[in-house]
């Protein structure tokens, strides 16, 4: 049986722009199981960021709820929400969002420090991650000394450090050239395959969409398509 990681039920978000309400999300149901490698696509303004922010507990829905491994994240508040996010969800953003004054090692270690993990465990985990992202030689470099692609790899390692349930990545390749974007996707696909890490990423880059095993299409805040290309092929041969 497939283990449910994310269960979003009837999610809606209305931004009140003066008097005209805008539905950024409109009755979205979404079910993600462990080990998925899923892309959320859709034109600018279709609700991708809003959906990821709701799933990650960075914003609250106007209606509906989100359960992460059976915990209703939309009902958590204050420190409970912060702790739950730190322990369960890895975030990767379009603009990397590394801390400029910290080295690659310190950026990756940051969440483990917040979690008060022992030094030895922190060091081991950071080294293991630097190896996995192929940047062992950049351990003491600060973000400005790294390329965009390298910074985004560090951001993925930082997100992975506390061994989250899944990684949410909002247009992670938007600021990367096509070679760096491809390398980042290779790395994410490898972590998905070897560690069964669940990835949910938004994108409007067709080359990135082609790498996903499941593609969810948003339009005007609604899911208008949900396809798993490998599954369709499989079904047709039966
Ligand atoms: P995407 O990530 O697909 O580009 P968004 O989730 O950012 O889409 O936006 C969905 C809709 O919600 C858009 O119409 C956008 O203008 C609106 N929106 C997003 N954030 C806000 C906000 N903070 N206040 C008002 N409207 C917003
Ligand atoms: Mg967006």
Taking only Cα atoms into account, the Rg of the chain, rounded to an integer number of angstroms, comes to 18
Separation in Å, CA 177 to CA 38, 39, 98: 21, 19, 19
Please name the residue whose Cα sits nearest to atom 16 of ligand 1.
Answer: 45
Nearest atom of ligand 1 to the alpha carbon of 43: 3
pLDDT at 236 (0 to 100): 43
Distance 54 CA to ligand 1 centre (A): 12
pLDDT at 237 (0 to 100): 40
Task: Find the mean pLDDT for residues 103-122.
Answer: 96
Separation in Å, CA 233 to CA 27, 150, 211: 29, 35, 15
Task: Find the mean pLDDT for residues 119-130.
Answer: 96
CA–CA dist 76, 181 (Å, integer)? 35
pLDDT in tens, 72-112: 999 999 999 999 999 999 999 999 999 999 999 999 999 99
For 151, the domain range is 4-237
Residue 12 Cβ < 6 Å to ligand 1: no
In the predicted structure, residue 210 carries a pLDDT above the cut 70: yes
Residue 203 Cβ < 6 Å to ligand 1: no
Q: How confident is the model at residue 21 (pLDDT cuts 50, 70, 90)?
A: confident
Distance 127 CA to ligand 2 centre (A): 32
Q: How confident is the model at residue 18 (pLDDT cuts 50, 70, 90)?
A: confident
Distance 220 CA to ligand 2 centre (A): 13
3-state secondary structure of 115: coil
Distance 179 CA to ligand 2 centre (A): 22
Residue 53 Cβ < 6 Å to ligand 1: no
pLDDT in tens, 144-203: 999 999 999 999 999 999 999 999 999 999 999 999 999 999 999 999 999 999 999 999
In the predicted structure, residue 121 carries a pLDDT above the cut 80: yes
pLDDT at 1 (0 to 100): 67
| Contact present, 200 and 6 (Cβ < 8 Å) | yes
The pLDDT mean for the chain works out to 93
Residue 42 Cβ < 6 Å to ligand 1: yes
Residue 158 Cβ < 6 Å to ligand 1: no
Please name the residue whose Cα sits nearest to atom 18 of ligand 1.
Answer: 24
Domain count, the chain: 1
Residue 50 Cβ < 6 Å to ligand 1: yes
Residue 49 Cβ < 6 Å to ligand 1: yes
pLDDT at 238 (0 to 100): 38
pLDDT at 231 (0 to 100): 54
Say which ligand is closest to the CA of 51.
1
**CATH number of the domain where residue 194 is located:** 3.40.50.300
In the predicted structure, residue 141 carries a pLDDT above the cut 50: yes
Phi, psi dihedrals of residue 15, rounded to the nearest 5°: -95, 125
Check residue 60 and report its DSSP letter: -
């Amino acid at each position: 049986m497939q283990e449910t990681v994310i269960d979003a039920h009837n999610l809606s978000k209305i931004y009140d722009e003066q008097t005209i309400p805008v539905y950024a999300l409109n009755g979205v149901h979404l079910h993600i199981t462990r080990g998925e490698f899923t892309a959320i696509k859709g034109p600018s303004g279709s609700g991708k960021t809003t959906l990821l922010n709701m799933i990650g507990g960075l914003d609250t829905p106007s209606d509906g709820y989100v359960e992460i491994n059976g915990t209703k994240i939309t009902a958590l508040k204050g420190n409970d929400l912060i702790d739950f996010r730190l322990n369960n969800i890895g975030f990767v953003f379009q603009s990397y969002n590394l801390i400029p004054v910290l080295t690659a090692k310190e950026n990756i270690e940051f969440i483990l420090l917040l979690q008060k993990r022992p030094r030895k465990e922190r060091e081991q985990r950071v080294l293991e991650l630097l190896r996995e992202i192929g940047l062992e030689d950049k351990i003491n470099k600060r973000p400005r000394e790294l390329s965009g692609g390298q910074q985004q790899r560090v951001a993925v390692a930082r997100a992975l450090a506390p061994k989250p349930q899944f990684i949410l990545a909002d247009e992670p390749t938007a600021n990367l050239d096509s070679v760096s974007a491809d390398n980042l996707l290779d790395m994410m696909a490898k972590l998905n395959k070897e560690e069964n890490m669940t990835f949910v990423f938004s994108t409007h880059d067709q080359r990135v969409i082609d790498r996903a095993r499941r593609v969810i299409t948003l339009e005007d805040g609604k899911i208008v398509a949900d396809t798993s290309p490998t599954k369709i092929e499989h079904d047709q041969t039966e």
